[in-house]
Structure 1
């Protein structure tokens, strides 16, 4: 009989808690870390990690796998970037609770807010639940390549309680508020890890209607908070308004956190318009709030949050032009053939984008500020390479230059527009956010934005860009970076049993060749239900990823193992 199921030998072990690395072996038994040190005993399997770093599996607390988790077992494109636990149900959008006659409404919200095509959800969602506890029960029957935790989404809850009045943004009655409070408590007690909402006016259906949660008054937001307090556990996640007073918005979040008596986190970015330093106002207020006893964190991104444009993606410079509309659902080759016709080119270049959704029109217009992505993705591009500047140098309009770029690689070329966090052409604001004591690396959005954003690669970028390649004055110590991807987010949502390499912790582990760690450019795969497309992004340098003591990835390739399960509620480290 072997002493261990698996031993990871000879690696440089980073504990995920910020401690200095140690050369050690890790012995795993029954999905748990049994011992760290010199291990001479036998094991059913051993992995030699000599010359590699060994880290906890990464914890991603901002994903949207709510639909994907019901029809798929692999949570790509997150699980191939060292992520071993994901938290979904962010931004107030999701699919439970939901009555049968409300399904179309929730699908429309998810399609618009998170760019999941309606046909994919219609084909993929089994809808074998109505209440949130029933939704968790369905997830509990499934196996994954990561662990999954779920939050109760406010828009779904509002629609469930108020029906059509929710979509019409009518105020809730006292009875409505009491029911929302009770259902929040019910969801948390059933295993939801928290509740989420959005106040971002960009969150709309594809047709342009605002998401149900957006006009909710403070009493409704506090009803959710009171439900958390009643349950005595769980977290509150919120997308604040990005227009208006940052001071007033933060004060509202403080009041919510005070009522909930539970941790609250919110999204924070340097926006491309308005006051370029408004994010600092939020960070300063965050410091004061935590100093006076609240538990509040800002979720921040380690690079620009960028839009991707392409003929096979959700948007490109001409996707909303009237003459292009008939081509939207055509195969890529047919789009390319049409665009190579000089007459079609002249017609398309003479038009302007048109759509009922102002956010979609704004997204298309912003493509003038995009850059060619290339085979090796560049997330800090030179301003001279921006499409409008390249066009000026060539003596053509930006639309003409964009047209030519889109036809490269037989129409598979991708244009990258670094929006938030790249206002000054550098990542100085990002560095300040990442190094603030009260922030969490997040906002990767895995499972969402299938055709316009591919930020699930954040962990790979963060380690390589900030812990390995940054200039000395901005380099983040590797032990700090590993903690930022593991124990810090895990602890923020109450999952203290993971994100650390210590005896008694869950055996979620990455073995990484740090020198080789690198990202490939995103590519398009048509592998969703109904043949829907999504962006994927591969990486080099992941020697192995282990979930609950079982290897799920070797050299970046998935194994057949699916040890991931639903996580219900907060978890503490096991006693050995």
Structure 2
């Protein structure tokens, strides 16, 4: 047998956490055909000498639901070794949908996930109504990497309940039966699971609550039961446990989450986990309740991130510290270069710094209340604002914060922030780790990642495009945690690879990927681990209708293969489009 391709001389990590070994890998017809020290001839060869070879990475938490319908490349995930991305997280998506509700779902995604509504409106062709039709449309699109879709709560609720869905009305028994039937239909068409969102931070572009945010136990369990009896499926949820409205609501909200997790007939369940400054011990409560669920037979997991859950602030971004000042609001619509020129005028600077910021959130605004809270407490917030640098450093000490620098320089925090956003001709980005950085280090992040119920997630690939670029998590885990970290313990490279591959494939029930074994898909990364690293995030305008988004490039990826074809060679995207829609249960 002549192989299509072989990878030679690499240090092979099997994905299961075992010790790596030197071996060659042979590929035939998109599958791994041989692994050993001496394999057959091949039409092509990739030299992996000095590199590590891993299974392709999986991402269980992305938001490419709209982008996947027009974009064949799916950056930034493809640049960071991801070969299978699961979208449809947090209850927001685009199917099922009636023609009259297109704009309503766009406003949901725009508000919740910070994806420009004009880009969605121009990019999506809406050649579907039902979820099976949506999957058919996705299947027709060529792409670099594989995708899988969760069916999402918000569009199903709108599809069934119409205007009642967006006015926080409880679903009737008939409504719930219809939502359950639609979910079952989607699962039988190959959806990987069902997701819901229950957080006050998520708002539509008009500032309204999301349809699913206050769903009752009866509704959630009714929908979750659609997975009962199927051979596949996961449940996913995000919740802030009503902290904005009731700081003592944790147990009652977790009771709702628990009932939802139990409703699917034993399917895996995952809940987002992070440390919040305003409830610094809540993550420990989530772990405690999740451990009790696990001990009672529920396959409960929590999705964790390998660094702070943060946002970028800057003149090009969705948010920045000066956007609530009246003088800035008068020039906010001008091109960047014009704004920078105006802001460099000393008189304009003095006038702006003398002003009191106005409220951003409120009725009719998509800005979350957190935006006002941050500006009102800027002296405190500035103690967690950092420059990343050309070699991005996400775990910096307190003395590096812009607030600390302002104090050392004898200037006001506002002046320091003003000068910082003007750096690099107004393209400078300030990093603000909102979550997971309460103690100004990653010791709690490490505890989360090491918990046996934890799975790596929360990258939000394709979402929050004007504020976040966390689709780079895989590169960060392998470079920082598995090689560079000096402020505390590291994670062994073989364990880091396992977290990105077999752990996630097992959670999703994808038995054909996530490991380097003969007969499995040839989704493979060849990585120069010593050179692996991140470049600074950058803003680009490449979305439909001129929409902009943050991208973050990586270095060190000699090759990323999807189905045996290289979609990345030497860090650059190729013309190959072997990615497929994963239909579970087929």
TM-score by length of 1: 0.96
The structure-2 alpha-carbon separation of the partners of 1:347 and 1:127, relative to structure 1 and needing over 3 Å to count, comes to farther
* Cα deviation, residue 477, structure 1: 1.8
1:149 aligns with 148
1:22 aligns with 21
* Cα deviation, residue 382, structure 1: 2.0
Distance (Å, rounded) in 1 between the aligned partners of 2:374 and 2:233 = 35
Distance (Å, rounded) in 1 between the aligned partners of 2:499 and 2:124 = 33
* Cα deviation, residue 116, structure 1: 0.4
* Cα deviation, residue 208, structure 1: 1.8
* SS, match of residue 149 in structure 2: strand
* SS, match of residue 98 in structure 1: coil
* Cα deviation, residue 308, structure 1: 0.2
1:79 aligns with 78
Output one character per residue of 1:185-217: Cα deviation in whole Å (capped at 9) or x when no partner. Answer: 000001111110011110002332111111111
Distance (Å, rounded) in 2 between the aligned partners of 1:377 and 1:441 = 21
Distance (Å, rounded) in 2 between the aligned partners of 1:181 and 1:516 = 49
Distance (Å, rounded) in 1 between the aligned partners of 2:66 and 2:236 = 19
Distance (Å, rounded) in 1 between the aligned partners of 2:222 and 2:517 = 39
1:561 aligns with 576
The answer as to 2:178 corresponding to 1:179 is yes
* Cα deviation, residue 103, structure 1: 1.2
Structure 1: which 5+ residue stretches go unaligned?
Answer: 572-576
* Cα deviation, residue 152, structure 1: 0.7
The answer as to 2:562 corresponding to 1:547 is yes
Of 470, 473, 478, the match for 1:458: 473
* Cα deviation, residue 452, structure 1: 0.2
Of 331, 334, 359, the match for 1:330: 334
Contact 1:322–1:354 (8 Å) recurs in 2: no
1:13 aligns with 12
2:278 aligns with 273
1:574 aligns with none
Contact 2:532–2:557 (8 Å) recurs in 1: yes
1:228 aligns with 227
Q: Which runs of 4+ in 1 moved over 6 A?
A: none
Output one character per residue of 1:381-401: Cα deviation in whole Å (capped at 9) or x when no partner. Answer: 221222222222222221111
Of 491, 499, 505, the match for 1:484: 499
2:395 aligns with 380
2:212 aligns with 213
1:426 aligns with 441
Map 1:136-535 → 2, pairs under 5 A: 136-229=135-228, 231-242=230-241, 243=243, 244-261=248-265, 262-274=267-279, 276-349=280-353, 350-355=355-360, 356=362, 357=367, 358-362=369-373, 364=375, 368=382, 369-470=384-485, 474-535=489-550
2:553 aligns with 538
Output one character per residue of 1:475-511: Cα deviation in whole Å (capped at 9) or x when no partner. Answer: 2221111110001111111112111000111100001
* Cα deviation, residue 473, structure 1: 6.6
Distance (Å, rounded) in 1 between the aligned partners of 2:487 and 2:318 = 39
1:89 aligns with 88
* Cα deviation, residue 346, structure 1: 2.9
Contact 2:70–2:141 (8 Å) recurs in 1: no
The structure-2 alpha-carbon separation of the partners of 1:161 and 1:363, relative to structure 1 and needing over 3 Å to count, comes to farther
Distance (Å, rounded) in 2 between the aligned partners of 1:458 and 1:272 = 22
Distance (Å, rounded) in 1 between the aligned partners of 2:315 and 2:21 = 48
2:3 aligns with 4
Structure 2: which 5+ residue stretches go unaligned?
Answer: none
CA RMSD in angstroms, aligned pairs only: 1.6
Count of residues in correspondence between the two structures: 569
Distance (Å, rounded) in 2 between the aligned partners of 1:326 and 1:497 = 55
Contact 2:200–2:209 (8 Å) recurs in 1: yes
Output one character per residue of 1:410-451: Cα deviation in whole Å (capped at 9) or x when no partner. Answer: 111100011111100110000001011110011000000111
The structure-2 alpha-carbon separation of the partners of 1:135 and 1:363, relative to structure 1 and needing over 3 Å to count, comes to farther
The structure-2 alpha-carbon separation of the partners of 1:139 and 1:82, relative to structure 1 and needing over 3 Å to count, comes to same
Distance (Å, rounded) in 1 between the aligned partners of 2:390 and 2:50 = 28
TM-score by length of 2: 0.94
Distance (Å, rounded) in 2 between the aligned partners of 1:272 and 1:472 = 21
